[in-house]
Amino acid sequence: MSMTLIDCSGCRTPLQLPQGALCVRCAICGAVTHVAAPGHADPSRGAGAVQPGWGPPPPPAHGRKRAVVCGISYRYSRHELKGCINDAKCMRHLLMTRFNFPDDSIIMLNEEQSDPYKIPTKHNIRMAMHWLVQGCQPGDSLVFHYSGHGAQQRNYSGDEADGLDETLCPLDFETQGMIVDDEINTALVRQLPHGVKLHALIDACHSGTALDLPFLCRMNRSGQYVWEDHRPRSGIWKGTSGGEAISFSGCDDNETSADTSALSKITSTGAMTFCFIQAIERGQGATYGSILNAMRSTIRSTGESTGAGGGAVTSLITMLLTGGSLTSGGLKQEPQLTACEPFDVYAKPFSL
């Protein structure tokens, strides 16, 4: 069946219109875009006709804050994770309370959603990524948070030094396949124009270079660092179109990320999401270097109480782990920082 592409009347996302169809509903903003039948144009049902639906309305022209927050638990499967939906809820809370992201500018994808377009399937995650960067303007701050399974698969283009692409695993990855880092880079990074800022927070296994950004901050335990050049030998540019893209990830490409449990109560979270939120809540979020060091320090000392040594546990941390501790025994993962350009991690202020 032939397909026609039309722009959504609400968020301008390109939509596929099946042959003969007179309207199509956007999976991102819920707008219904009508197409008049040949010879029967009806101005009252033109491109501006919008029906109530899920998701935020089209944001204002400039200075927008938008986020996609995705948590996948893979319930009732052999891949089940306990903490990912908690991660998504807490990250949404952090964005709203600490960084003033409007509630209606955050798309939340998880299995608890009643709206089928907010279930974290491969299609819905792709559409949400497209919505995040659609029409971005100078002054925009964009956030993409993902908590779920990550994996690797063979790279055939020759642009990965280890021969492996990093991937995210949507809820339906066993039937629909994974989302590869090259696609994430194309969707979220490559088209970012000057003045637009994107932060990605990837709490998943093998996530060090999940956005395929050109530079990785290789930091030792003393906090000393160098920027590794990860630009592909093919010469393909994996950076932005003048914007800024920075990613915190749960671990290196060859490591796994932990799904941890509180000891005092049955509450779970991804270790990376916990450590990131804790760094912000404890006032350690001044620079990218201070955040990365704080995250790594917390993971290295996972046997200690989350309330020790860093002041009172705040309401958000209480919400996250209900005053418990990370699973003892130590986590063998080190959060990573990647970016489109190298910078001084201890001088550059962190802001969303």
- The residues annotated with a catalytic role in the active site are 149, 205
Is the distance from CB of 296 to CB of 230 less than 8 angstroms? no
CA distances from 257 to 148, 150, 214, 225 (A): 10, 9, 22, 22
What is the rounded distance in angstroms from the CA atom of residue 96 to the CA atom of residue 69?
A: 12
Q: Which two three-digit tokens encode residue 248?
A: 């915190």
Categorise residue 9: left if φ over 0, alpha if ψ from -120 to 50, beta otherwise.
alpha
Q: Which two three-digit tokens encode residue 262?
A: 């509180």
